[in-house]
């Protein structure tokens, strides 16, 4: 069979050689190499042409030649060859599916990309702290600069340290445990930013996060009476000190921060108390509307044993109280977002010094004072209702050694809760 096919090819080559000047030897070599593999018959030429693909010609007929140019032509019938690609040879491969390895990954960091772990700090036991709260430092990773590029919605900054050191620090009875600041991913992976400077260890808490400036504001010292700005990238910090009616304030206390980044701080000196507002748009401090319209009100709720600020869940409204001649006379509802306020007049209670209150929902609040009933107040109408027991929805503050602020989120008003434990 192979001899017959060879004779027919040589005849065809000679015939085509007589009609043309010949074809390059490379073409011949290719054809012969293909023919040597095809021992099943002439019909396999079509399959070979469609498979190899290099012999398909554009607009002209194709030709082959033989190396034996001295051979006499042999008369053969005309052969018409039709090259038809087989269906299998023309299958077009579908584009490779592109898989995003970060799809569904909350923090944008794959498992093999995380930095190495830092040495876990030992837990400070209850007996080593003034108030009997163990301080547990989380397992954390080394903070590397590239991690900041992943930060966005769902991330937070947290501080861990002693809740308050108001009395022990002054007498030097207890050794103050260190305070640490962390970056926390949406997957609750902790990155240790830094060990905070020792002057900030006293009851430090992160109270706001300026994402644009890459800084946080911290509340520290006994009762949260001091504030500081801390640079998350450089570790530099400076204390916040306001002026209050011609004197530097000796108490600079955080009150509230909303989701837009506006903040309210209370500055108290011997000359009085002023409430300052940080405007997130203008990025400037100024006296709030409270200074001119309600200079006698206080943001601090509670008394000697504990104190806090009554801040709405969204961080945008604050309840402040005003007294006159030692009696509780009004409640002021302040809008941090709009820098505006409205006053609700209420009956007096016997001892406003121990007055404390909380939001119940968007329009009502709960108040009580030592020796008085509990009251529910409608902040829209000013209606006051005495209740026999604490209503459902009143927040029970818990002491904590960890506080956090989320990216683009309001600050939890619970961060203002302080116990003196005296």
Using one digit for the tens of pLDDT, what is the confidence trace for 239-266? 999 999 999 999 999 999 999 999 999 9
Cα separation, 128 vs 256, in Å, equals: 31
Instruction: Let me know if residue 193 belongs to a domain.
Output: no
pLDDT tier, 116 (very low <50, low <70, confident <90, very high otherwise)? very high
Instruction: Let me know if residue 387 belongs to a domain.
Output: no
Instruction: Let me know if residue 189 belongs to a domain.
Output: no
The distance from CA 125 to its chain's CA centroid, rounded to whole angstroms, is 32
Instruction: Let me know if residue 30 belongs to a domain.
Output: yes
Instruction: Let me know if residue 148 belongs to a domain.
Output: no
The winner for highest mean pLDDT among 194-198, 308-312, 397-401 is 194-198
- How many domains does the chain fold into? 1
The pLDDT of residue 250 is 94
Cα separation, 67 vs 375, in Å, equals: 113
pLDDT tier, 324 (very low <50, low <70, confident <90, very high otherwise)? low
Q: Tell me the average pLDDT across 132-156.
A: 93
Q: pTM of the entire structure?
A: 0.73
The pLDDT of residue 371 is 62
Strands 306-311 and 317-324: antiparallel
Residue 81 has pLDDT above 70, yes or no: no
Determine the straight-line distance between the first and last CA of the chain, rounded to whole angstroms. 111
Provide the domain limits for residue 16: 2-90
Instruction: Let me know if residue 11 belongs to a domain.
Output: yes
pLDDT tier, 47 (very low <50, low <70, confident <90, very high otherwise)? very low
The pLDDT of residue 268 is 94
Residue 35 has pLDDT above 70, yes or no: no
Q: What is the pLDDT of residues 189-242, one digit of tens each?
A: 999 999 999 999 988 999 999 999 999 999 998 778 899 999 999 999 999 999
The answer to whether 358 and 366 are in contact (CB under 8 A) is yes
The pLDDT of residue 65 is 34
The winner for highest mean pLDDT among 114-118, 121-125, 359-363 is 114-118
Cα separation, 226 vs 56, in Å, equals: 85
Instruction: Let me know if residue 112 belongs to a domain.
Output: no
The answer to whether 331 and 352 are in contact (CB under 8 A) is no
The pLDDT of residue 50 is 38
pLDDT tier, 67 (very low <50, low <70, confident <90, very high otherwise)? very low
The dihedrals phi and psi of 304, each to the nearest 5 degrees, come to: -70, -45
Instruction: Let me know if residue 63 belongs to a domain.
Output: yes
The pLDDT of residue 352 is 57
The pLDDT of residue 88 is 53
């Amino acid at each position: 069979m192979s001899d017959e096919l060879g004779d027919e090819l040589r005849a065809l080559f000679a015939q085509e050689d007589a009609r043309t000047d010949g074809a390059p030897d490379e073409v011949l070599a290719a054809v012969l190499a293909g023919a040597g593999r095809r021992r099943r018959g002439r019909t396999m030429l079509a399959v070979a042409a469609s498979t190899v693909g290099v012999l398909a010609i554009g607009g002209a007929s194709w030709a082959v030649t033989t190396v034996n140019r001295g051979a006499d032509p042999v008369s053969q019938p005309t052969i018409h060859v039709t090259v038809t690609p087989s269906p299998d040879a023309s299958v077009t491969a579908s584009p490779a599916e592109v898989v995003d390895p970060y799809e569904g990954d909350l923090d944008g960091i794959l498992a093999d990309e995380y930095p190495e772990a830092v040495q876990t700090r030992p837990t400070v036991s209850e007996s080593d702290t003034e108030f009997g709260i163990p301080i547990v430092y989380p397992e954390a990773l080394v903070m590397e600069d590239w991690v900041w590029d992943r930060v966005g919605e769902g991330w937070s900054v947290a501080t861990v340290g002693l809740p308050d050191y108001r009395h022990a620090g002054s007498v030097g009875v207890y050794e103050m445990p260190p305070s640490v600041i962390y970056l926390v991913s949406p997957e609750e992976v902790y990155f240790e930013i830094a060990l905070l400077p020792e002057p900030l260890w006293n009851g430090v808490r992160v109270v706001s996060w300026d994402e644009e400036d890459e800084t946080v504001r911290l509340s520290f010292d006994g009762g949260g009476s001091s504030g500081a700005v801390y640079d998350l990238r450089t570790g530099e910090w400076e204390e916040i000190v306001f002026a209050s009616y011609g004197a530097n304030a000796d108490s600079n206390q955080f009150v509230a921060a909303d989701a837009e980044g506006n903040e309210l701080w209370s500055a108290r000196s011997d000359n009085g108390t002023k409430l300052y507002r940080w405007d997130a748009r203008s990025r400037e401090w100024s006296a709030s509307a409270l200074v001119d319209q309600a200079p006698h009100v206080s943001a601090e709720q509670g008394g000697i044993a504990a104190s806090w600020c009554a801040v709405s869940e969204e961080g945008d409204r604050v309840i402040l109280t005003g007294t006159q001649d030692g009696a509780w006379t009004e409640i002021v509802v302040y809008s941090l977002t709009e820098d505006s306020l409205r006053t609700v007049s209420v009956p007096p209670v016997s001892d406003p010094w121990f007055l404390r209150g909380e939001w119940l929902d968007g329009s009502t609040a709960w108040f009580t004072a030592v020796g008085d009933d509990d009251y529910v107040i409608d902040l829209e109408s000013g209606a006051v209702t005495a209740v026999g027991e604490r209503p459902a929805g009143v927040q029970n503050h818990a002491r904590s050694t960890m506080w956090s602020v989320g990216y683009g989120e309001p600050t939890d008003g619970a961060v203002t809760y302080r116990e003196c434990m005296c």
